[in-house]
Each structure stands twice: as structure tokens, then as C-alpha cells.
Structure 1
Amino acid sequence: MREADETTRQRLTDALRTRPATPSELASEFDLTTGSILRHLEHVARSIDGTDEQMLVSPPRCRDCGFDRFDDRLNLPSRCPECKSESVAEPVFTVERARE
């Protein structure tokens, strides 16, 4: 099972190198749950730390009031803490070369 996890994480990393994606898009592409994708993304972020790459995260954003200062960017909030709306856009992830 460990080998399968590494393969999935490598494929996720490769996908994020080519284009930004939300957890739902990745879950659909890799036939996994969004929770599983988020756990894999946490590991990917740790594994590329200290390399010439970095994971960039565009935070979740409330579609109604624009709030985007969520505490945990590796999470799918169910509603906005500011206006209580349930219309919250997912975070968007990408992997890029670190700029010096």
C-alpha cells in the first residue's frame, strides 16, 4: 500500500506542475475522495519542502462577501465565518519552481 500512496502522490505532484487544480478536480481525476486528496497534498507539500519547488495555494474564498482569510488553507470550509454563506470556493493548488 505504501508504494501505491507514493505513486498517487507523485502523480498528483506531476499534475500540479502542469496546471493549478482544486481538490474536487483532483479527486475526480484520480478517483479519490477530496479528504484523501487533501491528506496527499499535505504530504506533497512536506516532501517538496527544501527542494527547488514549492506548493502554492490560492486560499478558499467566499463567493458572497470575498472573505479569504481562512485559518487552514488545506481544508474545505463549509461556510464563511464572516457572512455565514455556504458559497465558498475551494482552494486552488499548484507546484512551481521556487523563485530566488
Structure 2
Amino acid sequence: MRESSATTRQRIAARLREGPATPSALASEFAITTESALSHVEHVSRSTEGTDGRLLVSPPTCRECGFSAFDDPLNVPSRCPDCKAESVEEPAFLIE
């Protein structure tokens, strides 16, 4: 498949096969919003399930207290529900 004819989701899937990436890194690389990147990653997760790989997620983690049990790992939380700090590391995604 030629790069120019690939959809954004196909290009994101190919990028995640190369190595881990955060939503903001994907947004910057593909000139889309962070929310759009998360939506694409969620769809890529469903489409790769059981076929040519699986999506691995390094969950968001609070830099202050280390909390990482967020309800939705495919989200970028604005602050930690445990200590209320706003320094939360973004999740990272990888297709294995």
C-alpha cells in the first residue's frame, strides 16, 4: 500500500507497529487533534483484535503519587483522582 493512499487509521496502525506513541505524539505526527488520535487508536484496537496483532496500552500514570488505575486507559485524564495533581503522564500505545 502506498503511503499517500493509506487512511489516517492505517497510517496510525503502521506507526504503532514501529514503536510506542502517546496520543499527543500521534496528533502532532498526523496533524490531527489529540481527541481524534484517541478515537483512531480505539478503532485500530478493535480492528486489529484477533487478526494481525493486539494493542498494548501503557496506562496514564500520575507523576506525583504513581496512581495508574484510571477507569479508561484510552483517555488522557486532566488530573489524578487520587491526589488531584495535574501532572498525569499520557498513555502510550503499541501494536504487538
Q: Same fold (TM over 0.5)?
A: yes
- State the superposition RMSD in angstroms: 0.9
Count of residue correspondences: 91
How many angstroms does 1:50 deviate by? 1.7
SS in 2 for 1:53: coil
Question: d(CA) in 1 for partners of 2:85 and 2:7?
Answer: 37
Question: Which residue does 1:3 correspond to in 2?
Answer: none
SS in 1 for 2:68: coil
1:37 aligns with 2:44: no
- The 5 Å alignment of 1:1-80 reads 7-80=7-80
Residue type of the alignment partner of 1:75:
N
Question: d(CA) in 2 for partners of 1:51 and 1:25?
Answer: 25
What are the Cα deviations for residues 45-94 of structure 1, in whole angstroms up to 9, with x where unaligned? 00011214000000000000000000100111000000000000000000
Greater alpha carbon shift after TM alignment, 44-53 vs 19-28: 44-53
Residue type of the alignment partner of 1:77:
P
TM (norm. structure 2) is: 0.92
Question: Which residue does 2:3 correspond to in 1?
Answer: none
SS in 2 for 1:93: strand
Question: d(CA) in 1 for partners of 2:30 and 2:15?
Answer: 10
Question: d(CA) in 2 for partners of 1:42 and 1:22?
Answer: 13
Greater alpha carbon shift after TM alignment, 85-94 vs 50-59: 50-59
Unaligned stretches of 5+ residues in structure 2: 1-5
Structure 1: 4+ residue segments shifted above 6 A: none
What are the Cα deviations for residues 12-52 of structure 1, in whole angstroms up to 9, with x where unaligned? 00000001000000000000000000000110000011214
